[in-house]
């Protein structure tokens, strides 16, 4: 079992950074100090219910999905890039670059 100290909770904008998280066999088994929402978020992220990579409902590899996404965005005349709110700033930086390359619009939920 691994015990992680001072973990940052990524649920809300408070980013409480004093959590204690216990990990066993690559699964989060305990969360201390977090609020009930933060605790649920960590447990949820640790028991992944990730959708399979897919194109038009057909299961594909991750690489094929990325290829198709790139093809769609490169062909688009006016793409919208939206979301960004629960990912890292490193990923957000890539999204701004993609918006510029595709001459698109980039926005996050704070605009409405």
Partner 1 sequence: MGEARNRADLIIYWGCNPVETHMRHLSRYSSLAKGLYTPEGRKGRKVVAIDIRPTPTTKGADLFLQVKPGNTFEIASVLRALLRGERLEEEAVAAVAGVPLASWREVAEAIKACRYGVLFFGLGVTQCRGSDINVEQVGLLIQDANVHTRFYGLAMRGHGNVNGSNQVMTWLTGYPMSVNFSHGFAQFNPGEFSVLPMLARGEPDAALIVATDPGAHLPADAVRHLRSIPTVAIDPHKNQTTPWATVVIPVAPSGVAAAGTFYRMDNVPLRVRKLIESPYPSDEEVLAAMKERIDHALRA
| Site membership for partner 1, residue 3 (CB under 8 A) | no
Contact pick of 30, 32, 40, 88 for partner 1 (by CB under 8 A): 88
Taking the complex as a whole, the smallest distance from the CB of residue 21 to partner 1 amounts, in Å, to: 6
In whole angstroms, what is the distance from residue 42 CA to residue 35 CA?
A: 11
In whole angstroms, what is the distance from residue 9 CA to residue 54 CA?
A: 30
Nearest CA-CA partner of 107 in 80, 87, 89, 88: 80
Taking the complex as a whole, the smallest distance from the CB of residue 19 to partner 1 amounts, in Å, to: 10
In whole angstroms, what is the distance from residue 38 CA to residue 31 CA?
A: 9
Residues 33-52 that bind partner 1 (CB under 8 A): 35-37, 42, 44-46, 48-52
Taking the complex as a whole, the smallest distance from the CB of residue 64 to partner 1 amounts, in Å, to: 9
- Looking up tokens 């204690």 gives 20
Residues 50-69 that bind partner 1 (CB under 8 A): 50-56, 62, 65-69
């Amino acid at each position: 079992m691994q015990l992680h100290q001072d973990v940052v909770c990524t649920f809300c904008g408070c980013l409480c950074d004093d959590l204690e998280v216990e990990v066993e066999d690559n699964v989060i088994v305990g969360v201390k100090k977090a609020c009930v929402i933060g605790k649920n978020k960590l447990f949820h992220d640790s028991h992944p219910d990730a959708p399979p990579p897919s194109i038009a409902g057909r299961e594909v590899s991750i690489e094929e999905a990325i290829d198709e996404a790139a093809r769609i965005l490169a062909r688009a005349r006016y793409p919208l890039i939206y979301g960004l709110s629960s990912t890292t700033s490193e990923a957000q930086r890539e999204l701004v670059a993609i918006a510029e390359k595709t001459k698109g619009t980039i926005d996050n939920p704070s605009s409405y």
